[in-house]
Structure 1
Amino acid sequence: MTISRRLAVFAALNGALAVLIGAFAAHGAGPQVKTLLTTGAHYQLVHAVLALVCAAWPGRDRLVVVAGWLAAAGGLVFCLALSGVALLSLTAMGAIAPIGGVLMIGAWLLIAYAALRTQISAG
């Protein structure tokens, strides 16, 4: 199996950051910021896992690697934007969050397209 190593490392670091933010949301954040932090960490973690799946996708499809980067970057942008709003009261960061959302949606659509156009064999 060939793996996109840089994407896998970036995705793993994203996952670690998501767990850190989620843990802070659960144990150290006040009620007013908890929801934003939890939401951001959730999306970041889900998309870090998606990026890891893309990094190890059979056949090393370039389109899927791009989808992995979109997922990882989108999750990070979305989470950091919500964290900026929650922790630093940077309300302008609320306008950045949709950029992360668009990147994440793009990742899922690219994976759907790649899955439709590629025959994946088991074993």
Structure 2
Amino acid sequence: MILNQNSKKFLAISSFMMALAIALGAFGAHGLKSIVSDSMLIVYKTGIDYHFYNTLGLFAVSFMISMKPDCKKLIISAWLIVIGMIIFSFSLYLLVLLNLPILGAITPIGGTLLIISWLIVAYSLIKE
């Protein structure tokens, strides 16, 4: 299989995001236990979970893009996954690390972008 530029770009982003998810997950599991409350650890873990799941999904979409290189909807959905994942997960990470509850108001924006991105993936696979 020959990968096109968009596939390579999103596979590279996926690889970086996976490494980051592992590092941040390890930090949360080992470095935060003595610093934050159990309820804040759960918030942090939610960010990690969504970070992992959507990174795996981005890997899959990257390969879909290589199979359908002219499908603009898949490329748009890949960018929305990246942006949504950053807004969702990183707002939770920062909420816990900086103890700024106002950041919780940003999290649903990321979640909404993730929902939209996955609906676009479904639509593009059905219609194209």
| TM-score, normalisation: structure 2 | 0.84
Cα RMSD between the aligned structures? 1.4
Mapped contact 1:51–1:69 kept (Cα < 8 A): no
Matched, 1:106 2:123: no
**Residue deviations 1:55-106 (CA, integer Å, cap 9, x gap):** 2211122211211111122112111100111110111111111111011101
CA distance in 2, matches of 1:19, 1:105: 23
Equivalent residue number for residue 35 of structure 1: 42
The residue number in structure 2 matching 1:19 is 22
2:59 is aligned with 1:56: no
Q: Equivalent pairs: percent with the same residue?
A: 28
1:45 partner amino acid: F
The CA distance in 1 between the partners of 2:40 and 2:16, in whole Å, is: 23
SS across alignment from 1:56: helix
Q: Give, in angstroms, the shift of residue 46 of structure 1.
A: 1.0
1:9 maps onto 2:16 in alignment: no
| Structure 1, unpaired ranges of 5+ | 119-123
Shift of residue 33, structure 1, vs aligned partner: 2.5
Gaps of 5+ in 2: none
Amino acid at match of 1:42: D
Alignment partner of 1:85 is 2:95? yes
The answer on whether the counterparts of 1:78 and 1:100 sit within 8 Å (CA) in structure 2 is yes
Corresponding residue for residue 53 of structure 2: 46
The CA distance in 1 between the partners of 2:58 and 2:96, in whole Å, is: 26
Q: Deviations over 1:36-69 (max 9, x none)?
A: 1111011011111111211221112221121111
Compute the TM-score of the two structures, normalised by the length of structure 1. 0.87
Equivalences, count: 118
> How big is the shift at 1:32?
3.9
Structure 1 residue runs of 4 or more that deviate by more than 4 Å after TM superposition? none
